[in-house]
């Protein structure tokens, strides 16, 4: 089976002043279509950095990331944005929803940017809010939602364009165990029902154990 994502010699370092911090060092791994994997490791080890690069939000310092043998970083910025829009759903560590807009407007946003008709965008958004269990809050502004509700809205937003892969960065980081469990069930259900490929960074050992694979990040290296 052709991997959905392949990293080849992926490295990332940050320069601050005189010093260079090598966060990811020559990583090689693949993710198959339909797989679920957890990225685990202590705070500051580079989990968000890795997810941002796989999400094409950030670029590697060296090495390549291939999506079904295509290198998105070779695209110009308009094509890269389009690729990202069509392929990747991203749930950020800090949800990055727009606080002044309602839940349903936030979920519709990527679809409107993609120029889907407004009615279709709204229908998709409402169906997803139902699926993630917050349809009764669809008219709430994000600033009026609880942390768990906002996180679910962020998951719905990530799914509105039916991505091939969901990259979720600590989607339950700030939630109580029960709400975290609900979000885990939700994410795993999406994998089962839609064959969605999922890569999730998490500190939560129970969440990590529920994923098909665990990728351990330490000292810039990934150990399966």
Instruction: List interacting residues with ligand ATP (CB under 6 A).
Output: 14, 16, 21, 23, 41, 43-49, 93
Contact 113, 105 (CB under 8 A): no
Which one of Mg ion, ligand ATP, none interacts with residue 157, CB within 5 to 8 A by kind? Answer: none
Residues 85 to 104 in contact with Mg ion, rule: CB under 5 A: 93
Count of residues of this chain found to bind Mg ion when the rule CB under 5 A is applied: 3
- Mapping DSSP to helix (H, G, I), strand (E, B) and coil, where does residue 160 land? coil
The residue from 25, 48, 87, 197 that contacts Mg ion (CB under 5 A) is 48
In the sheet that holds 213-218, the strands lie side by side as 88-91, 165-169, 197-201, 36-40, 213-218, 221-223
In the complex, the smallest distance separating the C-beta of residue 212 from Mg ion, rounded to whole angstroms, is: 21
In the complex, the smallest distance separating the C-beta of residue 152 from Mg ion, rounded to whole angstroms, is: 19
CA distance 3 to 31: 6
In the complex, the smallest distance separating the C-beta of residue 60 from Mg ion, rounded to whole angstroms, is: 17
Nearer residue to ligand ATP within complex by CB, 88 or 161 = 88
Nearer residue to ligand ATP within complex by CB, 41 or 55 = 41
Whether the CA torsion 131, 110, 10, 21 is positive or negative: it is: negative
Which one of Mg ion, ligand ATP, none interacts with residue 104, CB within 5 to 8 A by kind? Answer: none
CA distance 33 to 17: 40
- Mapping DSSP to helix (H, G, I), strand (E, B) and coil, where does residue 101 land? coil
Binding mask 154-193 for Mg ion (x = CB under 5 A): ----------------------------------------
Nearer residue to Mg ion within complex by CB, 52 or 122 = 52
Report how far apart, in Å, the C-alpha atoms of 163 and of each of 53, 56, 75, 84, 197 are: 16, 14, 19, 9, 9
Residue 150: phi and psi, rounded to 5, are: -60, -40
Which one of Mg ion, ligand ATP, none interacts with residue 23, CB within 5 to 8 A by kind? Answer: ligand ATP
In the complex, the smallest distance separating the C-beta of residue 52 from ligand ATP, rounded to whole angstroms, is: 8
Which one of Mg ion, ligand ATP, none interacts with residue 14, CB within 5 to 8 A by kind? Answer: ligand ATP
Nearer residue to Mg ion within complex by CB, 30 or 93 = 93
Residue 49: phi and psi, rounded to 5, are: -55, -45
In the complex, the smallest distance separating the C-beta of residue 120 from ligand ATP, rounded to whole angstroms, is: 35
Q: What is the 3-state secondary structure (H, E, C) of 5-68?
A: EEEEEEEEEEEECCEEEEEEEEEEEEECCCCEEEEECCCCCCHHHHHHHHCCCCCCCEEEEEEC
Residues that bind Mg ion (CB under 5 A): 47-48, 93
């Amino acid at each position: 089976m052709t991997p959905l994502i392949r990293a080849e010699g992926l490295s990332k370092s940050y320069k601050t002043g005189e010093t260079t911090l090598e966060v990811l060092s020559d990583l090689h791994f693949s993710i198959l279509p339909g797989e679920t994997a957890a990225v685990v490791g202590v705070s500051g080890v580079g989990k968000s950095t890795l997810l941002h690069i796989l999400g094409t939000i950030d670029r590697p310092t060296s090495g390549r990331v291939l999506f079904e043998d295509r290198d998105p970083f070779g695209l110009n910025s308009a094509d890269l944005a389009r690729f990202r829009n069509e392929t990747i759903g991203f749930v950020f560590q800090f949800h990055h929803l727009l606080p002044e807009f309602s839940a349903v407007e936030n979920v519709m946003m990527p679809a409107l940017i993609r120029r889907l008709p407004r009615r279709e965008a709204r229908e998709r958004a409402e169906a997803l809010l139902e699926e993630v269990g917050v349809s009764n809050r669809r008219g709430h502004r994000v600033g009026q939602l609880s942390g768990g509700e906002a996180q679910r809205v962020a998951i719905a937003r990530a799914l509105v364009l039916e991505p091939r892969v969901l990259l979720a960065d600590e989607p339950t980081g700030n939630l109580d165990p029960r709400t975290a469990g609900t979000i885990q069930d939700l994410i795993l259900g999406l994998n089962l029902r839609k064959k969605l490929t999922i890569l999730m960074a998490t500190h939560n050992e129970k969440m990590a154990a529920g994923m098909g694979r665990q990728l351990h990040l330490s000292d810039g290296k990934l150990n399966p």
